[in-house]
Amino acid sequence: MPARLQDKIAIITGAAKGIGLATAIRFAEEGAKVMLADINLAALEQCAAQIPNAEAYAMNVTDRDSIQAAVDAIMQKHGRIDILINNAGITQDARLVKMTEMQFDAVIDVNLKGVFNCTQLVVPHMLEAKRGAIVNASSVVGLYGNFGQTNYSATKFGVIGFTKTWARELGPKGIRVNAVCPGFVGTEMVMAMPSAILEDIAKRTWMGRLGTPDEIANVYVFLASDEASYINGSTLEVSGGISL
């Protein structure tokens, strides 16, 4: 079977660990030239050294200058950007009555405005090429809400709004925009939750377990590939059925 992303230039944000790193590995396996983007450059360079056709770019999604510098460097070297995976995200959980303004703003800045920043600075190059694929990381929390995650839920709902709006605006220009809504996946961020909560989540998932980063990465590969050439504006839940 031919590689599904052969020679595609793909930017993946939040690529130093978790789902982002798993996605970078899978994209490379499918023939892509992978541009790893993360705020943690040291960790990113270690990852890039172990992935074929991977390059590391320091990027803070809340800092437009750092995004622009990375995009400019990629364009100068490769001449195009075919795929953008808006994966970077953080949590700072607290119940509404205890959430600080700093916690709220930090999550909004990374998870919502960061997606806006990256997309707005990459899209002009896709428009010039008249093609591209953008995949945004939402969450089941962005579909159903979650206790203690006012800020996170708001960002993930917002990302779905971005996705549907941009699919309308950019679809006629040859650029597809879709969102993935993972359930609870065994990343470092999720595994930091108390074990009792993790056990309860596994019980509530009809497959009886948490997901793996690779299982989300496989969906990113599909949506970024030509196999999904008529999928635009979709919100795909990948949760093991936790919402059933």
Main-chain dihedrals φ then ψ at residue 216, nearest 5 degrees? -80, -40
Question: String of b and e for 25-41 (b: at least 16 CB within 10 Å)?
Answer: bbbbbbebbbbbbbbeb
Helix (H, G, I), strand (E, B) or coil at 8: coil
Helix (H, G, I), strand (E, B) or coil at 107: helix
Neighbours of 120 (CB within 10 A): 12
Q: Give dist(CA 150, CA 146) in Å, integer.
A: 8
Amino acid at 65: D
From the candidates 57, 144, 152, 220, which is the catalytic residue? 152
Question: String of b and e for 180-200 (b: at least 16 CB within 10 Å)?
Answer: bbbbbbbbeebeeeeeeebee
| Surface-to-core class of residue 239, CB atoms within 10 Å of its CB (0-12 exposed, 13-18 middle, 19+ buried) | buried
Residue with tokens 């944000």: 13
Residue 57 among the catalytic residues: no
Active site positions, annotated: 152
